Amino acid sequence: MYFRRTFFFILTFFASALTISCDRTAGTPQEAAELLTAAPQWKIEEISVNDAVTFKDGKMTQQFGGIDFQRYMETVQVKKDGVFSGVFKGETAPFLLKWQISDQNITIGAADGASKGEWSVRPDDVRKDSFIMKTQSTAYDYPRMTTIALKFKAAQ
C-alpha cells in the first residue's frame, strides 16, 4: 500500500512538472526570439483593442463604439535574419517588417526603420505554441490612446 501511494505521488509530481515546463514563457528576449523563430509560421488567433476582444475563432466581433479592423495579418513568419513577414487577409504578397532584440523585449517595426510605430513582444508573452504582440497608438481614435494586442498560435 505504501509503495502504491509513493509511486502515485512521484508519477503525479513528474506529470505536473512536465506540464508546467512545456507551457512556460520565455525568460529573456533571446529565449523569446528562439521560440519565435522555431515555428515556421504563426496564425492569428485573437485581436484585442483596449482589452476588449474584437476578433476570435476567425470572426470579427463588433464592439459598440469600438474600433473596427477590416485589415489584419492572418499569418506571420519570424525569420532568423531579422525579417518579420506577414500576409494580410485576402492577399498573397507578404508585408515585410524588421524585428530586433532589445534589453527588455523584441521590437517589430518598419524594414527601413523610418516609422515611429512599433510593436513589442515581451518575453513573458511568448510560449512554444503562442505569442502576443502589442502596440499603443493615437492613429486609430485620435486623440485617445488605443492599445492593440494580437495573439498568434503556431500553425500546424
Residue 147 β-bridge partners? 136
Where are the chain's structural domains?
26-154
Cα 1 to chain center, whole Å?
48
Q: State the pLDDT at residue 66.
A: 66
pLDDT attached to residue 19? 43
Query: One digit per residue, pLDDT tens: the chain, 156 residues?
Result: 665 565 444 545 444 444 444 569 999 999 999 999 999 999 999 999 999 999 998 888 876 666 767 789 999 999 999 999 999 999 999 999 999 999 999 999 998 866 667 999 999 999 999 999 999 999 888 899 999 999 999 998
Cβ–Cβ under 8 Å, residues 74 and 59:
no
Third-level CATH fold of 26-154: Lipocalin (2.40.128)
